[in-house]
Amino acid sequence: MMAEYKVRKVEPGQTKIRDVPIAVTPEGFWCCPSQVVFQKTIKNQSQQTKQRPENPPATSKSSSKKLSSPSSPETRVQPSPSRSRVSSEDQKCLNSSTSASSPPVTSEGTLKPNGESHQRKISVGFGQPETSDLKVNLSGKEGIIVKMSVHSNILSEKSNFFSDKLSGQSPVSCIEIDDCEDVEIYVEAVGLMYCKEMKQRLMKQSVPRVLRILEAAKSLGFSACIKSCLEYLEAVPWVGEEEENVIASVTHIKSDTYGISSILKRVSSDISNPPNATFSRIMEMVLKSNDERGRREMKSLMLKLLKENSLLTNGSADICVETLYNSCQSCLTSLLASFRQAAEPGFLDDKSLGCKDPIMQQIVLEADNLLWLLEILADRRVADEFALMWATQAELAKLHPRLPIVSRHLVSCITARLFVGIGKGEMLPPKDTRQLLLHVWLQPLIEDYNWLQHGCRSFDRKVVEEGIGRTILTLPLDDQQSILLSWLGSFLKVGDSCPNLQRAFEVWWRRTFIRPFMEQQGARLRSDRN
């Protein structure tokens, strides 16, 4: 538990003690300085350095007594059996009867003659002070020195590090540890050697702090603490970057005697089913969902996750491609079957909505699924086969005009997305596929174009027109001419209700009428020079 002790106001000339929160354990006397002690120590030192006067003023006799020289012994405050304090040791010493007893925590500032503080000392006592037989001195960053009064039998029993240090023939009374990376946590790890129930103490800590304690326990060979930290990490939720930090710390522990595998199982699995089987199941669930909102949100999430996965694979073998194309084929088969039903004679004349609605809904659903799958394939740069699959759907294109535009418009969106992908270089289908795609699907797209502009919010006319034009210009010049002259006839009839391919028309014109003339001129010039 945390307790805060205050000292009454003292008369001038007496020692002043800072109010510092102290952690006191039920086991007895040991106390680990709270984070406040170390943070305030560093902060006070930095402030003293910044505010150091170039010419310190002369001090009075009474005030000079408050400053302790570097050679002066540590001054300590009489503690009670179950409490500890942090006192400012750069002030006047107490009387001899008070300083005779060792406290759990004190701090001492060492000052240079000009008033500059270059070190900050903290004394820590563990267990019963009268039985302490070992000193451990830690030298850390920011000039902090921690002096611990401990018990050699406890440290050698709990820590392999201290056991090795104390295993010599001659008795050791002091152990010096220089360049300690994390003094605060090192002290807490030593304190945990006196604690019977480490789990309860760790439960009050955060994941980052427990990871620091784990690192200190590993360096000390403190097996009981390592085990308790791992049990904590296995049970506590990880948030944000904590997952990567936990895995990095745990994987450095080579032995599995501590149960590391139980932590690693949170992020890895030994299930016999390969990942693509799980992925196939997820795709099937999303594609066949009956709830529009849930399906839409999961499609958005899956698209995001697959984009992240695509960045990580970086062009390597993709286990998802086969599953994606199997899903495409299934949706396309269902879409064609629904088109055939909807195109039957008398189907649209039937006034019974119970018969028409499910089929029309199925058409919209499957077309939307195909559009989503195409987006995934295009993002992963593996949509060439889809372009061929779509270009060969002559029957579907033939049935397309027989359905109401409100039900069929998503089919034209698939065609538009393919043209955009080819125009941007996201897919590189061969020339025959591009020719077939334009021959089969450009006219159905033109027929739906006016409705797409005004009834489809996600439709970007400029992007689509640029994609169509660029796709046409990838073909041989004769094919460009055939397609663009056919487009010109439609454009002159319906105007804005038709894709505006004037930029592609200009390029074709220059290739057809200007480029040959320029080549002839160039040939004549070269001939004249020769």
pTM comes to 0.62
The rounded distance, in Å, linking the Cα atoms of 427 and 382 is 7
Higher pLDDT, 161 or 7: 161
* Those residues with Cβ within 8 angstroms of residue 453's Cβ, 6 or more apart along the chain or in another chain: 459, 461, 496
Confidence of residue 94 (pLDDT cuts 50, 70, 90): very low
* Those residues with Cβ within 8 angstroms of residue 64's Cβ, 6 or more apart along the chain or in another chain: none
Q: Which amino acid is at 4?
A: E
Q: Which token pair is 293?
A: 């909102």
| Residue in the block written with tokens 């740069």 | 381
Backbone angles phi, psi at 3, to 5 degrees: -135, 145
Note the pLDDT of residue 140: 80
Closest CA to 7 of 92, 113, 78: 78
The rounded distance, in Å, linking the Cα atoms of 315 and 332 is 27
Tens of pLDDT, residue by residue over 139-172, are 887 678 888 889 989 999 999 999 988 887 678 8
Confidence of residue 47 (pLDDT cuts 50, 70, 90): low
Query: Is the pLDDT confidence value at 433 over 60?
Result: yes
Contacts 24+ apart (CB under 8 A), 469-473: 469/423, 469/501, 469/503, 469/504, 469/507, 470/422, 470/423, 470/504, 471/419, 471/422, 471/423, 471/434, 471/437, 471/438, 472/438, 472/501, 472/504, 472/508, 473/504, 473/507, 473/508
Q: Which amino acid is at 39?
A: Q
Closest CA to 233 of 186, 257, 266, 255: 266
Note the pLDDT of residue 263: 80
Q: Which token pair is 150?
A: 């401990």
* Those residues with Cβ within 8 angstroms of residue 333's Cβ, 6 or more apart along the chain or in another chain: none
* Residues in a beta bridge with 88: 107
Segment 61-86 shows an average pLDDT of: 34
Note the pLDDT of residue 332: 96
Higher pLDDT, 448 or 95: 448
How does strand 21-23 pair with strand 117-125?
Answer: unpaired
Best-predicted range by mean pLDDT among 94-98, 312-316, 346-350, 510-514? 510-514
Contact between 104 and 29 (Cβ < 8 Å):
yes
Segment 20-36 shows an average pLDDT of: 41
Segment 481-498 shows an average pLDDT of: 92
Query: Is the pLDDT confidence value at 306 over 90?
Result: no
The rounded distance, in Å, linking the Cα atoms of 526 and 529 is 5
* 136: three-class secondary structure by DSSP: strand
Q: Which token pair is 48?
A: 């003293």
Closest CA to 287 of 332, 234, 338, 222: 332
Give the mean pLDDT of the chain: 76
Segment 358-383 shows an average pLDDT of: 93
Note the pLDDT of residue 386: 97
Contact between 194 and 220 (Cβ < 8 Å):
no
DSSP string, 462-515: HHHHHHHHHHHHTS-HHHHHHHHHHHHHHHHHHGGGS---HHHHHHHHIIIIIH
Confidence of residue 181 (pLDDT cuts 50, 70, 90): confident
Note the pLDDT of residue 145: 85
Segment 359-388 shows an average pLDDT of: 93
Note the pLDDT of residue 347: 78
The rounded distance, in Å, linking the Cα atoms of 194 and 128 is 11
Note the pLDDT of residue 345: 83
Query: Is the pLDDT confidence value at 378 over 80?
Result: yes
